[in-house]
Chain A
């Protein structure tokens, strides 16, 4: 060997270069020696093979077969043995113990225990080293693993021989045989090393295992797509040691086997006990992988069998392939039956038989069987229209909740009917009375009269079930559950779902709720994760089962541990005989109605708690009848049983709380009268969870306080309870646990909100879908609001959004899974029951939330702050037209029916004043009957116009727009002709008016100085609603009374008395109101001067506040719009010339008035005037003004629009874009909400103009969203 050779060697030893040439030479020499010795050794031993060809081992430290022995073995079996580790050449490191730093150093190398070699020699082939690995990279994982090897030699693979199950060494399972595996190793190397080897073998084994003959070959590839590539997985069986490992196992196995699903593994974890319990199997399970090692004498055939065995293990594991399981199930219709049935075709292989049997007990075999069921029951996705009503028609919760309301209504109507009829016939009561009379001599009479109050709590026994089976006597006495699932309780795994994750989430959450488990809350908390679970495995196993909830189950089923609200799949496991019964909402309703009818035949003091549950206040009834509560209860129960065929339980006691508790004791099909003297004893043993209001969280809190029964709770002081739970709840608890409850049985309950919510099957793909869904939901809400006869002001949008990281597809089909809840609400200007309005708001809210529609899982719309149709007519923000009408109706209910004909009368009366009445529709809502209001123009109020106009004035009164002309305008002769009292009032109103200008021109002192009005002005009255003082701008109604002189006495006399009175009082109040009105205007620092030319009510309102800057042009402007045909409604054919004339003269009359004001106010303004709209510059005032404008007028006038545009332009000039933005947005809301399309057009016009200005000023347009 030359030195060059050494050098070369040395350079090859990358990373070990420090050793130098000497070492290289030495290694070379050793290698040579080894090669030389090998044939010699082979000769000596007599048996040799080439098992380890290509394998070069390096022994590190102490090993059980010593390093020398290993060297010898390697010689014999064609391997290499390195005395020095060479990274490039050494393939395996053999060690039993390595220090930590060595492990670090050797990371990535194959460090194998020596058993690998011995076992491989025993097996006659090179085994996969995977399960012999010394360490895993993740130390925390400690999976016991039993790995199987496929035979390398094809000739062996079919060998039917098997090791004896009573192998003497089989019990000596060494801990070292259960190895820890690393994920990486499994993923990367295992497949490479064993795929080829195990392929055929496993295939064969599967066939054997399943007892399937040749057709299986065809079937397998179908159901098991991974056959070729992943078959090596069969060689690996994971046996999680305990529930603790289960969750880890999930992530661990997944990469290895594509077909392996988490829940399968999980379910395996659960079913492991079964496997272990199957007698002889027990010993085989853990040992399967170690036979080779334990059995040195085993022939190659034996090792073959061993590999069979282990493969068998692998397929047996439910952790394997669900598909295979499924196949199994098809082959064995009775999966849970005696394992022996499947053993038959597998003679001579005892070990497989029990394995097979235990295998069948695993639950996963039902998957395909149920998939048809699933597809059959799948409903349309939430995005589709019409789904909402369909959803609600199928939603049990919806029905239950609506019924409750319906029955409350029913009871209400019963009571009101009784009130109307002055008494009702109580057939049941009569019957009972008769009964009592019959046995009057009997014991009934002897019963002591219960004078104290007595509440009956009537509750149907498992209502849904008993209704569901009332025509199916064959099911009586059997465990029955009402559920939507009709299959065997299993569903296929859907892609994207990760039920395990969800369960873990809920479990974590649950743990937060309760520190220790209390069984008592099982009934209270029907959520599935609260069902008791002996191990995690059980709960997690639910994932593979049907997630259909059990709405109700019979008592037989409850005995088996089934609970209401449990998932059907789980229940089916607990109680295999469980019979599913479908929902029958119609029947429920019928029965419930019968129930209520029955109860109502005794008394009307009923409170509907739900469709199957009611409280009856029988105090008076018992006294009247003189029977005991028990008799009454018996009679009621018999009645119910007879009429409905369903049994009911009745609890009786002195209050609601105790009655409900007594019902618990009475159930099933019984009755229990909790006497007041027994209360203390009774309640002491009641669990706290049976108290109303004690839910899961409170229960856990109480548990942490060491309280589980009411008796425990009684030990706590009131102050302690109040400290823990807050003053109210604490007090309630304190009373409840002593059986004290003073809630009355109230048959009428007010609704707080109306809502529709859908959290099932919400899967949107596009925003439009979500929005159209919202629209549909709004229509549903509208339906409900209309049904309840309510309108609401607050709209709340609730959205459930998939929690980040939660699986796309929840465990429950169509369910919402783990979600974050969001809610936004908006307060409407006026109460509504209009679905379109609600939809518009909801969509706005929805957009503001900026959600990812695909993640939406639930949508709910709720309407709160409900009002009855006529409630609170003066409510803030109620639309003007409506509120006025309501106001009148509320104040004069008797008048309201007559109001309209009267108004029509006025219409028909021929009157030239029509010409001036063009602004009428601004005052009244568009819907109100067309009536003309008085024209405010002084020119028109001249004497000659008085009489023809009066009818209109009367109507104007109805519309609360009455004007009083100034004294100078009134024909004195007319005034004198008036009745004395009227004249007085007119004069009085003038006096008030005289004060007005003075107060309005910033005189803080009371109006002592009565300066003559600078211009002929009209009396304008801001009428304060009695309950809304101080807010005339927002809620006050502008009431313009005509001067009293303008009221035609004949017409006045012809008015109904109520109206007359009201008119009079209106005139009387005018003074006060005027004063108030002026204070408001004072705030706005504008003189209270009327523009004589004001042609319209609306305009007058504006004008009154108008800034002087605007006054200049506006009177001129106003002339012509006043004539525009758009303004006057078509019904009024006006002689235009006349009108114009009137206007013009008037304009001429008072040219001075603006000029008077201007200097005065200008001086008060800043040098640079603040942009103002009709005098208002505060945003709130602007808003009020705009709202008034939009809500009171059906068609905007060009000239008004221009005013707004001008204002907006001024805002731009003033660089007050913020306010501009707000104004524009507000207008947008107002105008686009308005029913008239004219308003939308008006807004567009305004916006276009403003945008042009903004574009000019800023180079870009406003973004209006």
Chain B
């Protein structure tokens, strides 16, 4: 069995691919579950062998894709610490944050064949948790919007400014207003640990 290590060229990419794919599913699902967009624009799809909701609004999809496309290099280099989906009310005060904490083990290797299915199982568990998270969350006010924040290392931010992965899709440093939530409460949703990455997601709300 060939053993891949982080030094191998495609290792980081594999992880990033898996993770970005997951994040895409998760963001769509969050937008659906938290009713940021009308449920009419969502279609039921199957991912990780469970039903998920995916938007079929082309612009929204493009936005999410672009976002993740930009995040992917960060994940590849293990420079992203958290990906946060912030749901904001009309006044752009965050009401909820879905935090995906990503930590990749420093010394890890992919060795087994069953790895992918194992990871899939774990990701599925996270997805399922997201899909039922409205049970523990309060209903959002109407007219919410969302944004995606990435917590990176300092160098990564600078690099991002230098190189725009997608043209005309620049990242900006988030406003304090968008990040800060007063008296926030944390609701852990799911933690998954696998050989290649560790990911814990939690919802934070006022």
Contacts and interface: CB of A to CB of B under 8 A. Distances in A.
Interface of A: 848, 1167, 1215-1221, 1254, 1258-1263, 1265
Contacts of A1254: 186
A1219 B202 CA distance: 12
A1215 B191 contact: yes
A1260 B98 CA distance: 13
A184 to B, nearest CB: 32
B200 A1215 contact: yes
B114 to A, nearest CB: 20
A1258 B203 CA distance: 11
Contact of A1262 (B99, B185, B191): B185
B25 interface: no
A1219 B191 contact: yes
B186 A1218 contact: no
Nearest to A1168: B105
A1260 B181 contact: yes
A1265 B185 CA distance: 11
A1226 to B, nearest CB: 14
A1217 B202 contact: yes
A1261 B191 contact: no
Nearest to B193: A1216
Interface string B163-206: 00000000000000000010011111111000000101010110
B186 A1262 contact: yes
Contacts of A1219: 191
B188 A1261 contact: no
Nearest to A1259: B184
B103 A1215 contact: yes
B200 A1261 contact: no
Contacts of A1215: 101, 103, 191, 198, 200
B184 A1261 contact: yes
A1258 B191 contact: no
Given A1215-B198, A1217-B200, A1217-B202, A1260 B184 contact: yes
A340 B103 CA distance: 95
Return the 10 tightest CB-CB contacts between A and B, nearest first: A1217-B188, A1260-B184, A1263-B185, A1218-B191, A1221-B188, A1218-B188, A1260-B186, A1263-B187, A1262-B186, A1216-B191
Interface in B49-99: 99
Interface of B: 99, 101, 103, 107, 135-136, 181, 184-191, 198, 200, 202, 204-205
Given A1254-B186, A1260-B186, A1261-B185, 8 more contacts: A1167-B107, A1217-B191, A1217-B200, A1217-B202, A1258-B99, A1258-B186, A1259-B184, A1262-B185
Contacts of B204: 1258, 1260
Contacts of B135: 848
A1218 B190 contact: yes
B131 to A, nearest CB: 16
Nearest to A1254: B186
A1216 B200 contact: yes
Contacts of B190: 1218
A1262 B187 contact: yes
Contact of A1217 (B136, B186, B205): B186
Contacts of A848: 135
A1263 B186 contact: yes
Contacts of B184: 1259-1261
B159 to A, nearest CB: 25
Interface centre among B107, B185, B186 (most CB of A within 10 A): B186
14 contacts: A848-B135, A1215-B103, A1217-B188, A1218-B188, A1218-B190, A1218-B191, A1221-B188, A1254-B186, A1262-B185, A1262-B186, A1262-B187, A1263-B186, A1263-B205, A1265-B136
Contacts of A1221: 187-188
Contacts of B188: 1217-1218, 1220-1221, 1262
Contacts of A1220: 188
Nearest to B187: A1263
Nearest to B99: A1258
A1265 B205 CA distance: 13
Nearest to A1170: B193
B185 A1218 contact: no
B105 to A, nearest CB: 8
A1172 to B, nearest CB: 15
Contacts of B136: 1263, 1265
A214 to B, nearest CB: 60
A1217 B126 CA distance: 13
A1220 B202 CA distance: 12
Contacts of A1216: 191, 200
Contacts of B198: 1215
A1261 B204 CA distance: 9
A799 to B, nearest CB: 17
A571 B204 CA distance: 61
B179 to A, nearest CB: 9
B181 A1218 contact: no
Interface centre among A1219, A1254, A1258 (most CB of B within 10 A): A1258
A846 to B, nearest CB: 14
B104 to A, nearest CB: 12
A1250 to B, nearest CB: 11
B94 to A, nearest CB: 11
Interface centre among B135, B188, B189, B198 (most CB of A within 10 A): B188
Nearest to A1224: B188
Nearest to B97: A1260
B204 to A, nearest CB: 5
B196 to A, nearest CB: 15
Nearest to B189: A1218
A1217 B188 CA distance: 5
Nearest to B200: A1215
Interface centre among A1215, A1219, A1221, A1260 (most CB of B within 10 A): A1260
A29 B187 CA distance: 85
A1254 B99 CA distance: 14
Nearest to B137: A1263
Contacts of A1261: 184-186
Contacts of B187: 1221, 1262-1263
Contacts of A1217: 186, 188, 191, 200, 202
Contacts of B101: 1215
Contacts of B205: 1263
A1207 to B, nearest CB: 15
Nearest to A848: B135
Nearest to A1216: B191
Contacts of B186: 1217, 1254, 1258, 1260-1263
A179 B61 CA distance: 58
A399 B190 CA distance: 50
A824 to B, nearest CB: 13
A1263 B205 CA distance: 9
B95 to A, nearest CB: 13
A1260 B198 CA distance: 21
Contacts of B99: 1258
B93 to A, nearest CB: 15
Contacts of B107: 1167
Nearest to B181: A1260
Nearest to A850: B135
B122 to A, nearest CB: 12
A1167 B107 CA distance: 10
A601 B186 CA distance: 70
Nearest to B180: A1259
A1217 B136 CA distance: 15
A1221 B184 CA distance: 16
B148 to A, nearest CB: 18
Contacts of A1258: 99, 186, 202, 204
